[in-house]
């Protein structure tokens, strides 16, 4: 999944979004759920790829406007398209699901926390953007992050010596009935930060 460049400066901005990679898979005629390959982060105070460690994924909003007017972060997904010419150029029926989100908030006041989506949020290609994190009026000032993944679970995979560490909180579903070719399929996540939320809770 590729992500268009997002401005990272300003009083209200998207600071971080996840980069999703589901790896190379064997073509299957069964319905398949593929976990995302865990993103990597540099150990503090180190350099070099040998010091990269698996890390949770997150989308982060920074609001330093000081107006407490609220905001809403949403995301949409394009069709999974083959990167090269091929008979089956679209991975029909594929979708991404986000599980077990958690919130990190920089302000020590639970009354000002934004809300995050419930577990099982589906990103369906070519449908409208769905909210993942919403700050109503008088909420969401500072830095807010919706997080997918569990540090301990990722560390356990490293400890167990697995070849590829996976983040089970982000999954790609591909129907067995979908025709697939031996090519790379990519999709684009589009993140939208609205200045004025519509006062609705994030969808399930």
Nearest residue to 62 (alpha-carbon basis) of 6, 15, 115: 15
Higher-confidence residue of 34 and 2: namely: 34
pLDDT band at 192 (very low <50, low <70, confident <90, very high): very high
Nearest residue to 140 (alpha-carbon basis) of 114, 109, 118: 114
Structure tokens at 75: 């995301």
Summary mean pLDDT of the chain = 92
Can you tell me the distance from the alpha carbon of 86 to that of 35, in angstroms, rounded to the nearest whole number? 25
Summarize pLDDT for 19-73 with one digit per residue, the tens. Answer: 999 999 999 999 999 999 999 999 888 899 888 999 999 999 999 999 989 999 9
At residue 133, what are phi and psi to the nearest 5 degrees? Answer: -155, 130
Structure tokens at 157: 């995979």
Domains of the chain, residue spans:
12-194
Average pLDDT over residues 166-179: 98
pLDDT given for residue 49 in this prediction: 87
Can you tell me the distance from the alpha carbon of 37 to that of 70, in angstroms, rounded to the nearest whole number? 33
Average pLDDT over residues 166-173: 99
3 state SS for the chain: CECCCCCCCCCEEEEECCCCCCCCCCCCCCCEEEEEECEEEECCCCCCHHHEEEECEEEEEEECCCCCCCEEEEEEECCCEECCCCCCCECCCCEEEECCEEEEECCCCHHHCCEECCCCEEECCCCCCEEEEEECCCCCCEEEEEEECCHHHHHHHHHCCCCCCEEEEEEEEECCCCCCCCCCEECEEEEEEECCCCCCCCCC
């Amino acid at each position: 999944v590729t992500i268009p460049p997002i401005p990272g400066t300003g009083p209200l901005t998207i600071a971080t979004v996840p980069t999703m990679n589901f790896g190379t898979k064997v073509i299957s005629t069964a319905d398949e759920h593929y976990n995302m390959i865990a993103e990597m982060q540099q150990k503090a105070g180190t350099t070099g790829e040998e010091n990269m460690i698996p890390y949770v994924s997150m989308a982060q909003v920074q609001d330093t406007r000081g107006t407490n007017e609220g905001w809403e972060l949403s995301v949409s997904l394009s069709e999974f398209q083959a990167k090269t010419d091929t008979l089956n150029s679209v991975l029909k029926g594929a979708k991404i699901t986000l599980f077990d989100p958690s919130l990190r908030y920089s302000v020590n006041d639970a009354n000002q926390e934004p809300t995050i989506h419930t577990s099982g949020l589906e990103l369906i290609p070519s449908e409208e953007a769905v909210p993942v994190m919403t700050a109503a009026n008088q909420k969401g000032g500072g830095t807010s992050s919706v997080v997918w993944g569990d540090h301990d679970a990722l560390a356990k995979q490293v400890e167990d010596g697995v070849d590829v560490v996976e983040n089970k909180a982000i999954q790609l579903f591909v129907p067995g009935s979908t025709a697939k070719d031996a090519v790379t399929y990519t999709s684009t996540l589009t993140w939208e930060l609205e200045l004025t939320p519509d006062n609705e809770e994030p969808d399930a």
